[in-house]
Amino acid sequence: MTSAPPAPPRPVRSGIIFAIGAYLLWGFLPVYFLLLAPTGAFEIVGWRILFSLLFCALLVTITRSWPAMIAIVRQPRLLGTMALAAVFIYINWQVFVFGTVTGHVIETSLGYFINPIVTVLLGVIFLRERLRSLQWTAVGISAVAVLVIAINYGAFPWIALSLAFSFGFYGLIKKRVGPRVDALSGLILETAWLTPVAIVQLVIVGATAGLTFGMAGTANVLLLIGVGVATAIPLLLFAAASRRLPLVTIGFVQYLTPLLQFALGAVLLHEPITAVRWVGFALVWFALALLTFDLVRAGRSARRAAATVV
């Protein structure tokens, strides 16, 4: 009689739960933004910045983390780096919300499918990392996929590529700051930098289309206030998961988000998917399969090498 395989260590189990929770919440985020109708994309992002800042400030107060925050603020170079991160996360938020409320959820999912490939490419350009042959193949196939989808659209797929590159650069900056800035401190600094932008944005919306906050019912007000919580919670879950799991495991789980977004766009929102779009997405998925296989194989080789040295 064979014995059952040992259960994974508790930190790994909790890490997987945190990761799944984060990516599930991110995957269902388009539904949340659609529930905010009739609020437009620019107003949503304005309130998202302000209420995220307030919620994070409350969490910092509860956890008594202000000394760590002050220590970061006293480092001008680090503070400037967080300002640059804020620029890229603002682009990501604005494009994602715009794509969601204008009926392009499937294209937003494409952006997050492409993001791992973009991350690898940015590592080559900015971190001098060297790609293995399968990684280069994945990058090439993704480029062909984007070209196929662009030709099918008859227009440049700017939503998908803006999301992929903005989040790619955001991740690159976060990698550079590393453990010096935790998830909560990072988000509060980024939203603090973006607060003037949010205020200007809301003033412009109020002077043109008109603000919906307080004018579209109690549910709309509560959902707009809750957008800060919806922003911060998955980010904190992801930070907890990243401290407990290897990068390869997180890489597998991260595909939950674009898969859910793709399903929401196709099944719930009935966005059209032509045969050529299916071909483009299939090429992207094939590229991701190659990239994942290469990462797993490299990880196994590294572990065997380490065991041989020991």
Q: Low-confidence residues of the chain, pLDDT below 70?
A: 1-10, 153-154, 246-249, 251, 299, 302-303, 305-310
pLDDT, residue 50, reads 96
75 is a domain residue: yes
pLDDT, residue 211, reads 95
pTM of the model: 0.86
Q: What angle do CA 27, 108, 273 make, to 5 degrees?
A: 105
The alpha-carbon radius of gyration of the chain (Å, integer) is 21
pLDDT, residue 1, reads 47
HSE, side-chain direction, 13 A CA sphere, residue 91: 18
From the CB of residue 20, how many other CB atoms can be counted at a distance below 10 Å?
14
Dist CA 238 CA 17 (whole Å): 10
Contact 310, 171 (CB under 8 A): no
Question: Phi and psi for 211 in degrees, rounded to 5?
Answer: -75, 145
pLDDT, residue 309, reads 57
pLDDT, residue 247, reads 60
62 is a domain residue: yes
3 is a domain residue: no
Dist CA 113 CA 288 (whole Å): 8
153 is a domain residue: yes
64 is a domain residue: yes
Range of the domain at 131: 11-302
> Before 246, cis peptide (omega within 30)?
no
Number of domains in the chain: 1
147 is a domain residue: yes
Dist CA 47 CA 230 (whole Å): 12
pLDDT, residue 154, reads 66
Structure tokens at 1: 């009689």
pLDDT, residue 8, reads 54
Is 89 exposed, middle or buried, given 0-12, 13-18 or 19+ CB atoms closer than 10 A? Answer: buried
pLDDT, residue 250, reads 72
The counts of H helices and E strands in the chain are 12, 0
1 is a domain residue: no
5 is a domain residue: no
- In residues, how long is the chain? 310
For 230-250, write each residue's pLDDT tens digit.
998 998 888 788 777 766 567
